[in-house]
Chains A and B, each alone.
Chain A
Amino acid sequence: AQTVTQSQPEMSVQEAETVTLSCTYDTSESDYYLFWYKQPPSRQMILVIRQEAYKQQNATENRFSVNFQKAAKSFSLKISDSQLGDAAMYFCAYRPPNFGNEKLTFGTGTRLTIIP
């Protein structure tokens, strides 16, 4: 079974600064999907960004970008210009090839605090 590891249970960053959340995963596949989901105190999980493993270019969504290192099986999330609304639990997730979301594996999460 695939495992997804988030080694930072908690992180904090000053407002307007940049923070990087780490994620590593274990797989023997070559084509798969990786996701970052955000869960603010409102509880709703929201998709932040996705990466397809066959694409070498790192995904970017506004202030959110990833550093995808396929050989190292690393998928970190960089948040630039941190805002108070970024405070949330962040979950990294892996989805294997040939399956849909029923095979999505989540990491244990990183709680991000934004310091005003």
Chain B
Amino acid sequence: DTEVTQTPKHLVMGMTNKKSLKCEQHMGHRAMYWYKQKAKKPPELMFVYSYEKLSINESVPSRFSPECPNSSLLNLHLHALQPEDSALYLCASSPTLANSGANVLTFGAGSRLTVL
């Protein structure tokens, strides 16, 4: 299995809703990432988990709450979002955080989020 699976593919939510994005991989990767991508822009790093511990938080607002329940799963909990948070949210994984040529990112297909 060489895939990163993200659900849901599309999500529409109001500003008062609470929802979650889910990401799953079964490649044995120990580093997992959340990226935010606005239209026609490159992905922007939000969070990094290494061995199920939060390693990096790129000053993301607290209305985004990541969670890594186990080595295969990564969630992004959403609460009280703003319309400007509408974007494609990409999950990725890599074997580790090591500096190695083999340590490349495998991305999921993303969750398209619309906040009304």
CB within 8 Å of B: which residues of A?
33, 35, 42-47, 50, 52, 89, 91, 95, 97-102, 104, 106-109, 111
Contacts and interface: CB of A to CB of B under 8 A. Distances in A.
Interface of B: 31, 33, 40-43, 45, 48, 55-56, 88, 90, 92, 94, 96-101, 103-110, 112
Contact of B109 (A44, A50, A97, A98): A44
A89 B98 CA distance: 27
Contact of B105 (A47, A52, A109, A111): A47
**Interface SS of chain B:** loop
B97 A102 contact: yes
Select the residue from A44, A47, A52 with max chain B CB neighbours within 10 A: A44
28 contacts: A42-B109, A43-B88, A44-B108, A44-B109, A44-B110, A45-B43, A45-B90, A45-B105, A46-B107, A47-B105, A50-B104, A52-B101, A98-B99, A99-B99, A100-B31, A100-B94, A100-B97, A100-B98, A100-B99, A101-B92, A101-B94, A102-B48, A102-B55, A102-B56, A106-B43, A108-B41, A109-B40, A111-B40
